Amino acid sequence: MNGARHDLSAANEKKQEPNVDFALTFEQQALIDSLKEFVKKEMLPHEGLVEEQRAVPKEIAKDIYEKGKAAGFVNMGMPEEVGGGGLDYETMALVSRELAKVSTALSLCLKSPSKILLGCKGEQRERYLMPAMRGERLDCFALTEPGGGSDAKAIVTRAERDGGDWIVNGVKQFISHADVADFMVLFAVTGMDETPKGPRKRFTAFLIDHDTPGVTITPMKSICTRGYNPNMIYLDNVRVPDNQILGEEGQGFNFANDWLYSGRVMLAAHCCGLAERAFEMACEWAATRKAFGKTIGEFQGIGFKIADMAVDIKTTFLLVMEAAWKMDRGSLTRHEASIVNLYGSEMVGRVTDHAVQIFGGMGMMEDFPIQRFWRDARIERIWEGTSEIHRDIIARDILREYRS
């Protein structure tokens, strides 16, 4: 017995891996405390109005942005070289969790550009990345099409060479906040390659200004994330100069993949925050609402829901922190990103559903935000890759190791 114990510690010493420590540092705690206060004071009071109007009034958006900028809450995850806060993924996961305590539309007011824009080169930096860093321009991500969602390689939007320009034609669907953004990162097919497995499309990412002739954007009405709308984008003979290719021609998807992994972890962190808010409200309700002469939390049927919600949230938080920790060390794999996305998005569905149930009829009323949490939670199983696609990735990556 003693010998076995000795062997184990010797093996651990040999590996010399750093210890995982998720205790918040002093700086992280201070940041989260002040962000919490900011959300409560500057953002939450507008939530009802945004839900009702399905839009964030411009003056409110500007006010939140200016105050958030002064407090250091914009561009937190962007590198310091471009004027960002340079926060690591672990801290950004905590930030994402905190910002999920308010509706997505309002949290977008602290607009930070997508990290995909770090691929901007030369004058693209001055036209797209830096104005986005200064909050003067907002980007959106245009990949999905009516015929290509989960199967992203089925997209048919085409860009064809015309002298030093490209002519883009196609339709993009469900593009978040395109109605308030200034430019898009658009994915198009720019040709075909012959490969041993047959012809393969070449995908290229383009930076396209929304005011370019031939671009039309029309909002779609969704039941989730009111004020943060999905949109149709129609591109009719849109002329785009060659120097608006983001990255290299034919390398569009390599770009998107790097960015998608961190998005999946941040989505799960967001799910934690949304679930926590629903959980706290459900606990307060369970502790005060009475039926049959008792508070409903005293019934095992409700108490067990509270327990399951607590376990679910805690589990997701640990998964998120481990994934973020790995991302900071460049060791997060594709299927690990899918695991945390899948677990977080399904967790928030279970938790918000329990919360609605605990509120009973009041859970369905627009007077309470519980129904919003439940509606907003539903999209999490779809938009950063559906649950089925994540399960497929996890199974394929794991089984590949057994086959080889």
Q: Is 150 in the site for ligand FAD (CB under 6 A)?
A: yes
By C-beta, is 83 or 219 nearer to ligand FAD?
Answer: 219
Q: Is 333 a binder of ligand FAD (CB under 6 A)?
A: no
Query: Residue 213 phi/psi, 5° resolution?
Result: -55, 135
Q: For 12, what's the count of Cα atoms within 13 Å in the CB-facing half-sphere?
A: 8
Q: Of 280, 336, 384, 401, which one is the catalytic site residue?
A: 384
Q: Determine, following the binding rule CB under 6 A, whether residue 383 of this chain makes contact with ligand FAD.
A: yes
Going residue by residue from 196 to 225, which x/- string records binding to ligand FAD, judged by CB under 6 A? --------------------------x-x-
Question: Could you say which of 60, 116, 138, 143 contacts ligand FAD (CB under 6 A)?
Answer: 143
Max CA pair span of the chain: 79
Q: Which residues of 8-39 are buried (b: 16+ CB within 10 A; e: fewer)?
A: eeeeeeeeeeeeeeeeeeeebeebbeebeebb
Cα-Cα-Cα-Cα dihedral sign, residues 380, 99, 40, 219: negative
Q: Which is nearer to ligand FAD, 356 or 389 (CB)?
A: 389
Q: Measured from the CB of residue 171, what is the shortest distance to ligand FAD in angstroms?
A: 12
DSSP string, 119-181: G--THHIIIIIHHHHTTS--EEEE--BTTBSSSGGG---EEEEETTEEEEEEEE-S-TTTTT-
Pattern 352-381, binding to ligand FAD, x per CB under 6 A? ---------------------------x--
Residue 3: CA atoms inside 13 Å, Cβ hemisphere, count? 0
Distance CA 275, CA 97 (A): 9
Burial of 227 (0-12, 13-18, 19+ CB in 10 A): buried
CB of 149 or CB of 363, closer to ligand FAD: 149
Instruction: Provide, rounded to whole angstroms, the least separation between the CB of residue 381 and ligand FAD.
Output: 9
Least Å from the CB of residue 389 to ligand FAD: 6
Smallest gap from Cβ 150 to ligand FAD, in A, equals 3
Q: In the bound complex, which residue of the shown chain has the CB atom lying closest to ligand FAD?
A: 149
Shortest distance, CB of residue 399 to ligand FAD, whole angstroms? 15
The only residue of 227, 230, 252, 297 in contact with ligand FAD, by rule CB under 6 A: 230
Distance, in Å, from the CA atom of 337 to the CA atom of 394, rounded to the nearest integer, reads 9
Of the ranges 1-9, 138-146, 352-360, 394-402, which one interacts with ligand FAD (CB under 6 A)? 138-146
Window 160 to 189, contacts with ligand FAD (CB under 6 A) = 174-176
> Is residue 278 at the binding interface for ligand FAD, with CB under 6 A as the rule?
no
Q: What is the 3-state secondary structure (H, E, C) of 335-347?
A: HHHHHHHHHHHHH
CA distance 280 to 221: 29
C-alpha torsion angle, residues 279, 284, 290, 293 (rounded to 10):
100
CA distance 45 to 48: 7
In whole angstroms, how close is the CB of 154 to ligand FAD at the nearest point?
A: 9
Residues numbered 61 to 120 that lie near ligand FAD (CB under 6 A) are: none
Mark whether 384 is an active-site residue.
Answer: yes
Binding residues for ligand FAD, total number by CB under 6 A? 20
- What is the set of active-site residues? 384
* Footprint of ligand FAD (CB under 6 A): 140-144, 149-150, 174-176, 222, 224, 230, 379, 382-383, 386, 388-389, 392
